Amino acid sequence: MASEALTFLTMVLAGVIFIRLFTYQRKGASYRWGKSAIAVVMMIACGRLVIQALTGDLIVPPQFWPFVVLLAVFAMAIVRAGGNVACLVRPDDLPWSGADRRHGGGR
């Protein structure tokens, strides 16, 4: 029973990720081929998970529940980013330490 539920949840989460990435619209954002390639690879992987789950080739064992949790967190991040992979891998989004302000602009 748990295996069927985890397999179904994996299929749904992979479908959510695929659809959100597929329906992304740039709306003036700059095109970056590397990040677009990452999005395409992610869509291929998620599409493959959905197809394998639908054909019965994918069965998620109960001990793989952490994978499903990680997939859920990743799906929430993709949806929150609006399907923009660049928002997930942008290096300038690191937490601000406040060192610039405390030391007068980093001097």
Q: Taking the mean position of all CA atoms in its chain, how far away is CA 63?
A: 22
**Phi/psi of residue 45, each to 5°?**
-65, -45
Is residue 42 included in any domain, yes or no?
A: yes
For residue range 45-104, list pLDDT tens digits in order. Answer: 999 999 999 999 999 999 999 999 999 999 999 999 888 888 887 655 555 566 656 665
Count Cβ atoms below 10 Å from residue 102 Cβ, excluding itself.
9
Chain position carrying tokens 């990720």: 17
Output the pLDDT for position 101: 62
Output the pLDDT for position 99: 63
DSSP SS3 for 106: coil
Is residue 100 included in any domain, yes or no?
A: no
Is residue 97 included in any domain, yes or no?
A: no
Domain span at residue 35 reads: 2-23+30-90
The two tokens of residue 101 are: 């302000």
For residue range 16-44, list pLDDT tens digits in order. Answer: 999 999 998 888 877 888 888 999 999 99
- Report the candidate in 52, 89, 68 with the shortest Cα–Cα distance to residue 13: 68
**Considering its fold, how many domains does the chain have in total?**
1
Nearest 5°: CA angle at 42, between 32 and 29? 25
Burial 5-36 (b: 16+ CB within 10 A, else e): ebbebbbebbbbbbbbbeebeeeeeeeeeebe
Output the pLDDT for position 105: 56
Is residue 61 included in any domain, yes or no?
A: yes
Output the pLDDT for position 72: 97
Output the pLDDT for position 32: 80
Is residue 96 included in any domain, yes or no?
A: no
